[in-house]
């Protein structure tokens, strides 16, 4: 691949040209996510945000005399968008060093990083997910268990046949059956391999074929778990549905870790409540000595992006206020190490102790140590 780093000296940028920074990258990310959703309908038309963002980069290339500069959106998509940001060939005003190695497209799709900054840039990001959750909350005002059951259902059924979905809507979710139906859409035919759909052996999500004819899960972190793919059980003529994109990313992905933690804690014979008081936080944990811990599980690619979203402490329950609160990150991203945790704490607008922020495995050790101290 051609290097985009120039060996010549950097030209002075006119003062009226703003440097490429967080705002431009977020603008492009939003456009990329919009383009992915419309590409099958009209691949020749690019969202305005994407076009404007790429135009800014092209202008910067001209000003700084970058070799082999961007020649429009298609060129940007095929080259630069798939490179780490640090390799774009000119100085970018990074808000944090964490962004240096991030890229906007991975395996022909918007990367996790791209999805996160697109959601942060506009209220449209995650809009459908918020709509679904808010509607279910309203319907669950008198029955909090309905909310918990609905959310669990989405996490446990990222892929489903139309027949099963129809039956479950009527029998188990009568109050929210319309909301449940619009939470799913027809699975793309391009994901079929020899007439079959395949699901990730780790998270259960639908797998897709890369340009190298390899089956991949949308969640790139599942690959390191090395679990065999699973054929989705459906007859040849059955309609297969999957969760819409917002729900796959912001509900199903972190939800697998939430349910996993719930199961591990229950195996220790602890009292555990999922999504208490309509999702004040994710897990409400009561120890034998009546100590209460509150847990919020976060699964984000960028600690900086997440930190900007967390603008208040974990809310306390009225009837059972917690003694300690924790932000817990799934072990799927524990390879990011202590630097990730430190980044989150550093940029978070609320004050957090080091003991409040940890990965899943470390949290379970903390729980076990707490139990041991009560014997």
What residue has token string 């997910």? Answer: 129
Q: Per-residue pLDDT for 284 more than 50?
A: yes
What pairs with residue 271 in β-bridges? 286
- Interatomic CA distance for residues 280 and 283, integer angstroms: 9
Q: Look over the chain and give the mean of its residue pLDDT values, rounded to a whole number.
A: 90
Segment 201-220, tens digit of pLDDT: 999 999 998 888 889 999 99
The pTM score is 0.88
Q: Which residue has the higher pLDDT, 226 or 18?
A: 226
Q: How many CA atoms lie within 13 A of 204 on its CB side?
A: 18
Segment 45-87, tens digit of pLDDT: 899 999 999 999 999 888 888 888 899 999 999 999 999 999 9
Distance of CA 60 to the CA centre of its chain: 31
Handedness of CA 262, 258, 275, 133 (dihedral sign): negative
- Interatomic CA distance for residues 49 and 41, integer angstroms: 18
Q: Give the DSSP H/E element, type plus range, for residue 374.
A: none
Sheet strands side by side (includes 240-243): 159-161, 240-243, 184-186
140: left (phi over 0), alpha (psi -120 to 50) or beta: alpha
Q: Which residue has the higher pLDDT, 140 or 1?
A: 140
pLDDT of residue 12: 52
Q: Per-residue pLDDT for 260 more than 50?
A: yes
Q: How confident is the model at residue 11 (pLDDT cuts 50, 70, 90)?
A: very low
pLDDT of residue 294: 98
What pairs with residue 62 in β-bridges? none
Q: How far apart are the first and last CA of the chain?
A: 61
Listed range (88-92, 94-98, 268-272, 318-322) with the worst mean pLDDT: 88-92
Q: Per-residue pLDDT for 4 more than 60?
A: no
Q: Per-residue pLDDT for 16 more than 80?
A: no
What are the Cα distances from residue 221, in Å, to 139, 238, 244, 297, 318? 34, 30, 20, 16, 37
pLDDT of residue 126: 60
Q: How confident is the model at residue 40 (pLDDT cuts 50, 70, 90)?
A: low
Query: Per-residue pLDDT averaged across 306-318, rounded?
Result: 93
Query: Per-residue pLDDT averaged across 112-139, rounded?
Result: 80
Q: Are 261 and 360 in contact (CB under 8 A)?
A: yes
Instruction: Kindly report the number of other CB atoms within 10 A of residue 318's CB atom.
Output: 8
Cα–Cα nearest to 183, from 115, 123, 222, 130 = 130
Give the SS3 label for residue 88: coil
What residue has token string 């027809």? Answer: 186
296 Cβ contact partners less than 8 Å away, ≥ 6 residues apart: 281, 282, 314, 325, 326, 327, 328
Q: Are strands 324-329 and 357-359 parallel, antiparallel or unpaired?
A: parallel
Q: How confident is the model at residue 8 (pLDDT cuts 50, 70, 90)?
A: very low
- Interatomic CA distance for residues 126 and 107, integer angstroms: 22
38 Cβ contact partners less than 8 Å away, ≥ 6 residues apart: 45, 47
Give the SS3 label for residue 272: strand
Q: How confident is the model at residue 38 (pLDDT cuts 50, 70, 90)?
A: confident
Listed range (32-41, 108-117, 334-343) with the worst mean pLDDT: 32-41
Listed range (35-44, 165-174, 214-223, 359-368) with the worst mean pLDDT: 35-44
Distance of CA 24 to the CA centre of its chain: 21
Q: Which residue has the higher pLDDT, 67 or 119?
A: 67
Query: Per-residue pLDDT averaged across 315-331, rounded?
Result: 96
Q: Are strands 324-329 and 292-297 parallel, antiparallel or unpaired?
A: parallel
Q: Are 159 and 241 in contact (CB under 8 A)?
A: yes
Q: How confident is the model at residue 10 (pLDDT cuts 50, 70, 90)?
A: very low
């Amino acid at each position: 691949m051609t290097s985009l780093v120039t060996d010549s000296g950097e030209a002075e940028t006119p003062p009226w040209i703003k440097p490429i920074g967080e705002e431009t990258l977020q603008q492009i990310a939003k456009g990329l996510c919009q383009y992915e959703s419309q590409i099958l309908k009209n691949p020749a038309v690019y969202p305005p945000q994407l076009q404007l963002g790429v135009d800014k980069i092209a202008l910067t290339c001209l000003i700084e005399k970058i070799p082999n500069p961007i020649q429009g959106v298609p060129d940007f998509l095929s080259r630069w968008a798939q490179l780490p940001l640090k390799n774009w060939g000119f100085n970018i005003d990074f808000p944090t060093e964490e962004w240096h190695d991030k890229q906007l497209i991975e395996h022909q799709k918007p990367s996790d990083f791209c999805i996160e900054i697109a959601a942060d840039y506009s209220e449209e990001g995650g809009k459908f997910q918020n709509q679904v959750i808010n509607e279910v909350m309203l319907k669950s005002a008198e029955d909090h268990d309905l909310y918990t059951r609905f959310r669990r259902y989405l996490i446990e059924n990222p892929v489903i046949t139309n027949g099963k979905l129809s039956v479950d809507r009527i029998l188990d979710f009568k109050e929210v059956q319309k909301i449940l139906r619009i939470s799913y859409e027809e699975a793309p035919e391009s994901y079929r391999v020899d007439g079959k759909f395949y699901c990730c052996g780790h998270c259960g999500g639908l797998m897709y074929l890369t340009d190298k004819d390899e089956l991949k899960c949308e969640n790139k972190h599942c690959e390191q778990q090395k679990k065999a793919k699973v054929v989705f059980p459906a007859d040849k003529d059955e309609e297969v549905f999957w969760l819409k994109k917002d729900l796959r990313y912001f509900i199903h992905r972190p939800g697998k870790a939430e349910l996993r933690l719930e199961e591990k804690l229950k195996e220790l014979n602890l009292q555990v409540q999922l999504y208490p008081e309509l999702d004040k936080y994710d897990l409400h944990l009561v120890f034998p000595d009546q100590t209460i811990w509150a847990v919020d599980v976060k699964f984000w690619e960028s600690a900086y992006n997440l930190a900007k979203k967390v603008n208040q402490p974990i809310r306390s329950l009225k009837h059972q206020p917690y003694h300690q609160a924790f932000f817990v990150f799934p072990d799927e991203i524990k390879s990011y190490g202590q630097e990730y945790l430190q980044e989150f704490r550093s940029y978070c607008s609320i004050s957090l102790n080091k003991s409040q922020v940890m990965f899943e495995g470390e949290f379970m050790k903390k729980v076990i140590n707490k139990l041991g101290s009560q014997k």
